[in-house]
Amino acid sequence: MATYQDFIQQNEERDGVRFSWNLWPSSRLEATRLVVPVSCLFTPLKERSELPPVQYEPVLCSRANCRAVLNPIQVDFKAKIWACNFCFQRNPFPPTYHGISEVNQPAELMPQFSTIEYIVQRGPPSPLVFLYVVDTCLEEEDLQALRESLQMSLILLPPNALVGLITFGRMVQVHELSCEGIAKSYVFRGTKELNPKQIQEMLGLTKPATPGQQGRPPAPQEETSFSLPSTLRFLQPVHKVDTNLTDLLGELQRDPWPVAQGKRPLRSTGIALSIAVGLLEGTFPNTGARIMLFTGGPPSQGPGMVVGDELKTPIRSWHDIQKDNARHLKKATKYYEGLATRAAENGHSIDIYACALDQTGLLEMKCCSNLTGGHIVMGDSFNTSLFKQTFQRVFSKENGEFRMAFGGTLEVKTSRELKVSGTIGPCVSLHTKGPCVSEIEMGIGGTTQWKVCSLTPSTTLALYFEIMNQHNAPIPQGGRGAIQFVTQYQHASMQRRIRVTTVARSWADAQSQIQHIESSFDQEASAVLMARLGVFKAESEEGPDVLRWLDRQLIRLFMFHLRRSPFLQVFNNSPDESSYYRHHFVRQDLTQSLIMIQPILYSYSFYGPPEPVLLDSSSILPDRILLMDTFFQLVIYHGETIAQWRKAGYQDMPEYENFKQLLQAPLDDALEILRLRFPMPRYIDTEHGGSQARFLLSKVNPSQTHNNLYAWGQESGAPILTDDVSLQVFMDHLKKLAVSSSA
């Protein structure tokens, strides 16, 4: 048997699953003692090029409340029956499987297809919908950049996708794309909340035979001034309207309402979103759709407003929030949650592209994306490559297909000894009660089904399980527990697909086999899983409590960084930034998550190939180039000497070709990271003493500070001016605690 390392890696490759424990403690009591719960990170759409989808429907367990999908376990080929490994129901094979035998198995029975994807044909393929919701209260320069990005995006959209445009400022305009001649839009007041029915009525989307219309017979022609079917007025296939829409975007004006001195522009983000949600709700329910919100500032009027229009009242800070001074926070959050829930219920996701120097209210609006699986991208301006490239990357293609999927539902089935406690990730509960729902909730629980409105191949959910088996009813030796993940989604090619992943792990008695269990521990996965729990708690609870909880739970090296990370620490981050960081943390896969927790530091020097170095101030040396990847930032730091050389222009001299190469190496690596990373990290090229160097300095372990510089007495490294404790101090303290607690 290969090492657990290999096993874990192999499993991750094949199924996109990483468990915290790869042997499961066989009783509930033991499981609790292990502190880190049995849990896993699951990447539903993990890219698997070697996995061709099959073109038929999955075979389901016939028990009504089970409906598990046929998988490689426990099949009796002779009797042509299979026993469900979740409910033990014995099911006959359907007639189409009559030729089945050991040598002639359908794909789902082959062990290597523990993850299998079905393409199902149900109903007509529904189109993808992209609804742009664009803030017009922008500086001209920003607006211009945004216009261009939007126009560019039309080329990237699948030609048969439907596209729509809503612009907002003081008012909200829903643009009709079908009309010829005069550009036409429906306008809504930015302050008045409308229910979905009203919105649809006002857009003329209700069925023609609305009450109050006399003359039933000619009813279908009711809206004859608009010759197209009413639903299509606002959402048109890209190929039909791209020129029209390009012009429309080109003519997009800044919000024409004057903004008085000392005022913020009035931004009706709340209403704009509600209309977008309402429009899709009425026209394309349960169809993959993205509402893409581009905003350049905080919502400042109407429901969902985050800050008033007086510039003299600044937007809420953590300080205000802690002091309960954020007037609009609760109301706005509630409002956006309501919207997000509605969108999620209809399978629509909301992306937020917020570009402004100040906060834009992501804290309040984050749920829109978090619940619907939408993206959040935060930048300083639409006129930055960060935004432009990130936005472009949303539409990136792999083998000619979009790296996005829509309207997913994830269902988890567990064998009896297990129950599912909940999940943490970009999803909402579908409130499906079932036998495998645990009473203990971790993350979003109380259900076996979740809706993930938008998925990318890297979208990763954390799932937490509870061992139900009582200590006094041992599981027979060699028994295996099984978990099945059923993900139904709309593929970018508009097909509906079902991906089924079935995993099984052995039970182990914690008392007798503690070493085995120990060795099956997946440190990285556990770290991320626990961190997610931490973030989830941080979102819902007060900050210090979470840290304390975390401290109590477990102590590892990365915890030092996690404690210092923006996911738990709000110091030096605006509420929006925290929301942004957390948003990404709870959806990225394990590798990315680890980077977020503990940034990676590479060192480039003449002394050898690039090497990862400790994230410590002692790594900052004058003759090195450092490349730090924190996921959100990519910092290239030139040591003092290198910087001087560079300034002197050595790299341009033919005799210092190697220096040129040295300078180039981190750039190439950074480009490699930039190429794949979504969202685009902030790219920082700095040097010793540069103001941007703070990004690096704030991350490294402050092993040398102004306090101990002389005591340390070494020449290498750079002192960090901070009062934060260094890892050494932290560890010392921990040791003391560990000893005292055990005593």
Partner 1 sequence: MSQQGYVATPPYSQAQLGMGGHPGGFGGPPSQPVYGHYGGPPQPFPIPPGGTQHGILGIHKGPVSAPSAMPQPPASSHYGSSVQQNGSYTQGFPPPPAASSSFGQVPQSPYQNIAPQATPSTHQLTNQISNMQISGYGQGPMPTPQSPSRSAPQQPFHSAPPHLMAQTPTAPGPQSPSMGSPLPLGGPPPMGGMMPAPMGGPAFHQLQGQGTPQGYPQPPAAGPYGGQLAGPQPGFPGSFPGGAAQMAGPPQKKLDPDSIPSTTQVIEDDQAKRGGQIYATNLRGQIPPLVTSNFTVQDQGNASPRFMRCTTYTFPCTSDLAKQCQVPLGTVIKPFATIPKNETPLYVVNHGETGPIRCNRCKAYMCPFMQFIDGGRRFQCAFCSCINEVPVFYFQHLDHMGRRMDLYERPELSLGSYEFIATLDYCKNNKPPNPPAYIFMIDVSYTNIKSGLVKLLCEELKTLLEKLPREEGVESSAVRVGFVTYNKILHFYNVKSALAQPQMMVVSDVAEMFVPLQDGFLVNYQESRAVIHNLLDQIPDMFADTNESETVFAPIIQAGVEAFKAAECSGKLFIFHSSIPTAEAPGKLKNRDDRKLFNTEKEKTLFQPLKGVYEQLCKDCVAQGCCVDLFLFPSQYLDLATMGDVPTHTGGSVYKYSNFQAEVDGTHFLNDLRKDVEKPIGFDAIMRVRTSTGFRATDFFGAIHMNNTTDVEMAAVDCDNALTVEFKHDDTLNEETGAFIQCALLYTTVGGQRRLRVHNLSLNCSSQLSELYKSCETDTLINFFAKSAYRAMLNQPLKNIREILVNQTAHMLACYRKNCASPSAASQLILPDAMKVFPVYMNSLMKTPAMVGSPEISTDERVLQRLCVMAMGVEETQVLLYPCLIPLQNMDVSSSVLPGAVRCSEERLSDNGMFLLENGRLLFLWLGQACPSELIQSLFNVPSFAHLPEELNSLPELDNPQSKKVHAIISAISERRTNRMKLLIVKQKDRPEILFRQHLVEDKGLHGGASYMDFLCYVHREVRQLLT
Pairing label, strands 496-508, 115-120: antiparallel
C-alpha 567/C-alpha 571 separation (Å) is 10
Cα–Cα separations (whole angstroms), residue 121 to 347, 422, 489, 493: 19, 31, 12, 13
Stretch that binds partner 1, among 45-53, 90-98, 201-209, 407-415 (CB under 8 A): 201-209
Burial of 314 (0-12, 13-18, 19+ CB in 10 A): exposed
Per the listing, tokens 């957390």 go with 582
Minimum Å distance from CB 229 to partner 1? 16
Stretch that binds partner 1, among 104-112, 126-134, 197-205, 383-391 (CB under 8 A): 197-205
Q: Collapsing DSSP states into helix, strand and coil, what is residue 651?
A: helix
Contacting residue, 51, 156, 202, 259, with partner 1 by CB under 8 A: 202
Stretch that binds partner 1, among 79-87, 168-176, 502-510, 549-557 (CB under 8 A): 168-176
Task: Name the residue among 97, 95, 94 with its Cα closest to residue 106.
Answer: 97
Q: Give ∠ CA 239-243-248 in degrees, rounded to 5.
A: 125
Q: Is 679 in the site for partner 1 (CB under 8 A)?
A: no
Contacts of residue 353, Cβ cutoff 8 Å, sequence gap at least 6: 292, 293, 294, 295, 375, 376, 377, 379, 382, 387, 390, 391
Helical axes 590-597 vs 557-564, angle rounded to 10°: 70
Residue number, 194 or 665, with CB nearest to partner 1? 194
Q: Is 139 in the site for partner 1 (CB under 8 A)?
A: no
Stretch that binds partner 1, among 84-92, 200-208, 445-453, 608-616 (CB under 8 A): 200-208
Q: Is 186 in the site for partner 1 (CB under 8 A)?
A: yes
341 neighbors 599 (Cβ within 8 angstroms): no
Stretch that binds partner 1, among 193-201, 299-307, 312-320, 687-695 (CB under 8 A): 193-201
Q: Is 555 in the site for partner 1 (CB under 8 A)?
A: no
Stretch that binds partner 1, among 250-258, 307-315, 401-409, 417-425 (CB under 8 A): 250-258
Q: Is 666 in the site for partner 1 (CB under 8 A)?
A: no
Q: Is 232 in the site for partner 1 (CB under 8 A)?
A: no
**Residues that contact partner 1, how many (by CB under 8 A):** 33
Q: Is 256 in the site for partner 1 (CB under 8 A)?
A: yes
245 neighbors 163 (Cβ within 8 angstroms): yes
Q: Is 96 in the site for partner 1 (CB under 8 A)?
A: no
Q: Collapsing DSSP states into helix, strand and coil, what is residue 454?
A: strand
C-alpha 457/C-alpha 45 separation (Å) is 5
Q: Is 224 in the site for partner 1 (CB under 8 A)?
A: yes
Q: Is 225 in the site for partner 1 (CB under 8 A)?
A: yes
Contacting residue, 57, 139, 148, 201, with partner 1 by CB under 8 A: 201
Residue number, 109 or 271, with CB nearest to partner 1? 271
Q: Write the single-letter amino acid at 402.
A: F
Q: Is 183 in the site for partner 1 (CB under 8 A)?
A: yes
Stretch that binds partner 1, among 29-37, 39-47, 170-178, 589-597 (CB under 8 A): 170-178
Residue number, 99 or 215, with CB nearest to partner 1? 215
Residue number, 179 or 674, with CB nearest to partner 1? 179
Q: Is 324 in the site for partner 1 (CB under 8 A)?
A: no
Residue number, 16 or 190, with CB nearest to partner 1? 190
Cα–Cα separations (whole angstroms), residue 41 to 18, 35, 414, 541, 570: 5, 17, 15, 23, 25
Contacting residue, 123, 124, 181, 609, with partner 1 by CB under 8 A: 181
Q: Collapsing DSSP states into helix, strand and coil, what is residue 679?
A: coil
Stretch that binds partner 1, among 135-143, 151-159, 191-199, 616-624 (CB under 8 A): 191-199
Q: Is 380 in the site for partner 1 (CB under 8 A)?
A: no
- Give the x/- contact pattern for partner 1 in 443-462, rule: CB under 8 A: --------------------
Q: Give ∠ CA 531-571-590 in degrees, rounded to 5.
A: 25
- For residues 366-384, one letter each, b for 16 or more C-beta atoms within 10 angstroms of the residue's C-beta and e for the rest, the string is bbbbbbbbbbbbbbebbbb
Minimum Å distance from CB 137 to partner 1? 14
Stretch that binds partner 1, among 251-259, 508-516, 645-653, 695-703 (CB under 8 A): 251-259
Residue number, 254 or 327, with CB nearest to partner 1? 254
**Token reading at 212:** 């109050």
Q: Is 189 in the site for partner 1 (CB under 8 A)?
A: yes
443 neighbors 394 (Cβ within 8 angstroms): no
Residue number, 262 or 654, with CB nearest to partner 1? 262
Task: Name the residue among 628, 724, 657, 500 with its Cα closest to residue 51.
Answer: 500
Per the listing, tokens 């920082």 go with 684
Q: Is 221 in the site for partner 1 (CB under 8 A)?
A: yes
Minimum Å distance from CB 262 to partner 1? 18
Dihedral of the alpha carbons of 28, 29, 33, 37, in degrees to the nearest 10: 10
Minimum Å distance from CB 666 to partner 1? 49
**Token reading at 728:** 């050494």
Residues near partner 1 (CB under 8 A) are: 171, 173, 176, 179, 181-189, 192, 194, 198, 201-204, 212-213, 215, 218, 221-225, 251, 256-258
